[in-house]
Amino acid sequence: MRKIDRTGVLMTVMLVASAAMLWAAVTPYSQDFEGLAPPSPGGLLGDGWLVFGNVFDAGGVYQGGYGPFDAPNNSDAPAFCLIASGEGGPAQGAQQLVVFSDYNNLSHGNTDWVIESLVFQEQTIEAGDVGQTVVFSFDAKMGDLAGASEAAAFIKTIDPGAGFATTNFVTTDTTSIPTTWGTYSVQLAIDAGLVGQILQFGFLTRASNYEASGVFYDNVNQPVPVELMSFSVE
């Protein structure tokens, strides 16, 4: 009977698993905002955070979008987001992220027009990501959101091969969360049809008429599970 070299088989399995991980482009991301700079005149949030704005008229008809831009952290003209301090509990530390509407958008002056303001991270989906589930978790508590304003966390996929059409938009509503911290999540399974598409995860607000819309977030975490198979050879 031919003897099988188990060491060689084990090395082959490890190489295959390693190759699969190399082909995966969606990488884990976490941020507790403790190391980011406080707001400053003309400041930016940094660490890869981006923003995008969408505008809808009072009838819900899309009027256009703008971005993506580097996320601001601008104390002179707050828009989209800022680093906040003093809003955390023991698990949130000294600094948090507050997300709100783009109040520099003059469409707020058009009665009941809706400004959708998105603050997010962005990655590209590759073949090695297929079969995995992206789970975006975070801590959150209510800020000054009021009136008809809405807020949510989201995972979104965009197809650059189809005019940047949205192919998935999964949300967890944060409009009515309490003023105490809680942990929430949103998730999306990656299938083969999403290879080559853009993955975004983050937070959004929808607000009109300059109404308040702030929600605090912290301890964002997007781990990517890697499924490893093991077997033995007798």
List, in order of start, the domains of the chain with CATH numbers. Answer: 6-222 (2.60.120.260)
pLDDT at 23: 54
Of 137, 140, 176, nearest in space to 155 by CA: 137
pLDDT at 15: 33
pLDDT at 6: 41
Low-confidence ranges of the chain (pLDDT < 70): 1-24, 224-234
pLDDT at 161: 96
pLDDT at 42: 96
Output the pTM of the full model: 0.86
Structure tokens at 228: 């490893």
Percent of the chain with pLDDT over 90: 84
State the Cα–Cα distance between residues 112 and 147, nearest whole angstrom.
12
CA 111 to chain centre: 29
State the Cα–Cα distance between residues 33 and 217, nearest whole angstrom.
9
pLDDT at 24: 67
pLDDT at 226: 44
Element (H, E) at 136: strand 133-142
Encode burial over 104-143: b for 16+ CB neighbours within 10 A, e otherwise.
ebebbebeebbbbbbbbbbbebbebbbebebbbbbbbbbb
